A = this chain, B = another copy of it.
């Protein structure tokens, strides 16, 4: 069988190997390195301002002439928190802020400002981005039509069969099937408060059977064995995140890198306490204590904004108990190295295994 050609042809790349978009981890350097090596780098811009979005895209362009994807968060803005909910969350967070020596600025709910993908579509069109991927939902029809009109290749994220079918019905070209092993945020959108947790081994073949679109397998794939396994399941390619967290081009903290490198298979947990959306990362004190507090967690991006200064201070203070240390269930125990080496060694190992 060797490599399926469909996604490589559609995206204009050599191998259907996608570096997962990881906000806070992925840099333009990482995106360019993966794309230059024949894969597809993904630039995460979810929640960023139009100006930041443009400058990141331009930064990638300076480093590669190869195709890359720009990744959006396709969520909607949730209802405002009540004062009671906000007071309650402020009350709990205040102690952590104090412990880190920073002040909690109690911004009223109605003054919180968030960018959504709707603010970014114009930039993507202006910058003539060729590939747009998204997660947390489906882009609205206006955005889809505008992107399609400009010939943009669209990739959406599904965590169950029903989400995949909905993406197909919306005309999405390529479907990323994200198994529960994956690090970082779940892409779930049909039941995001109680998201489907289907393992990659079970999810991929069922999605492949349900849609007439190329399916990219994501979740638990961290070396060439996983790449080969995903192709056996019928995937048209793979998306890999955690293996790139520790690469030379990663912008995350050394603390995050070291913690992830030493994580056992059982060390990650799904939590919504950092951002308001379920995501997989290494357990620490903040996760455990917030679980025990039993608060209702604000939706994304409100909770994300409430904890952002705390996470920033924790990174500065080298305190891993208050950092979001996203990681999947399979962290390769390898020395730090360039992203291109990771991609090449995974492809080489897969090719040795594949027919």
Q: Please measure, in the bound complex, the distance between the C-alpha atom of A191 and the C-alpha atom of B233, giving whole angstroms.
A: 31
Q: How far is the CA of A222 from the CA of B199 in the complex (A)?
A: 13
Task: State in angstroms the CA–CA spacing of A219 and B191 once bound together.
Answer: 24
CB distance from A243 to the nearest CB of B (A): 12
What's the minimum C-beta distance from A262 to chain B, rounded to whole angstroms? 13
Cα distance A220–B162 in the bound complex, in angstroms: 18
Chain B residues closer than 8 Å to A299, beta-carbon distance: none
On whether the beta carbons of A180 and B199 are closer than 8 Å, the reply is: yes
Taking a contact as CB atoms closer than 8 A, the residue among B1, B181, B202 that contacts A202 in the complex is: B181
Residue of A199, A200, A265, A329 with highest tally of chain B CB at under 10 A = A199
When chains A and B are docked, how far (Å) is the Cα of A199 from the Cα of B181? 6
B residues near A326, Cβ cutoff 8 Å: none
Chain B residues in 8 Å Cβ range of A225:
205, 232-234
A139 within 8 A of B: no
Complex CA gap A137/B232 in Å reads 32
CB A163 to nearest CB in B, in angstroms, measures 9
Which of B161, B201, B221, B355 is within 8 Å of A355, CB to CB?
B355
Interface string of A140-160 (1 = CB under 8 A from B): 000000000000000000001
Contacts of A221 in B (CB 8 A): 201
B353 touches A232 (CB 8 A): yes
Contact between B233 and A229, CB atoms less than 8 A apart: yes
A226 to B206, CA, bound (A): 11
A202–B220 CB distance below 8 A = yes
Contacts of A100 in B (CB 8 A): none
Question: Are B202 and A330 in contact (CB-based, < 8 A)?
Answer: yes
What is the chain B residue whose CB lies nearest that of A203?
B265
Residues A220 and B232 in contact, CB atoms below 8 Å apart: no
Q: How long is the Cα–Cα vector from A328 to B225 in the complex, in angstroms? A: 23
Residues of B contacting A226 in the complex (Cβ-Cβ under 8 angstroms): 201, 205, 233
Within 8 A of B (CB), among A200-223: 200-203, 205-206, 219-223
Let me know if B1 and A353 touch, CB within 8 A. Answer: yes
Q: Are B233 and A196 in contact (CB-based, < 8 A)?
A: no
Chain B residues positioned under 8 Å from A1 (CB to CB): 353
When C-beta atoms are compared, the residue in chain B nearest to A355 turns out to be: B355
Q: Does A228 contact B (CB under 8 A)?
A: yes
In the complex, what residues of B have CB within 8 A of residue A198's CB?
A: 181, 265-266, 329
The CA of A55 and the CA of B286, in the complex, are separated in Å by 54
A264 in the interface, Cβ–Cβ < 8 Å? Answer: yes
* In the complex, chain A residues 308-350 whose Cβ is within 8 Å of any chain B Cβ: 328-330
Task: Report the Cα distance A140→B219, complex, angstroms.
Answer: 36
Hey, which chain B residues are within 8 Å of A181, CB to CB? 198-199, 201-202
Known contacts A226-B233, A232-B225, A199 near B329 by CB under 8 Å: yes
**Residue interface mask A229-256, B partner, CB < 8 A = 1:** 1101110000000000000000000000
Residues of A near any B CB (own CB < 8 A): 1, 160-162, 179-181, 191, 196-203, 205-206, 219-223, 225-226, 228-230, 232-234, 264-266, 328-330, 353-355
| A180-B180, A206-B265 known, 8 other contacts, Cβ within 8 Å | A160-B266, A179-B199, A181-B199, A197-B197, A200-B201, A201-B229, A205-B225, A205-B330
A-B contact pairs, 5 of them (CB 8 A): A180-B199, A198-B265, A199-B329, A229-B232, A232-B353
User: 5 tightest CB-CB pairs across the interface, nearest first?
Assistant: A199-B199, A201-B220, A202-B220, A202-B329, A202-B330
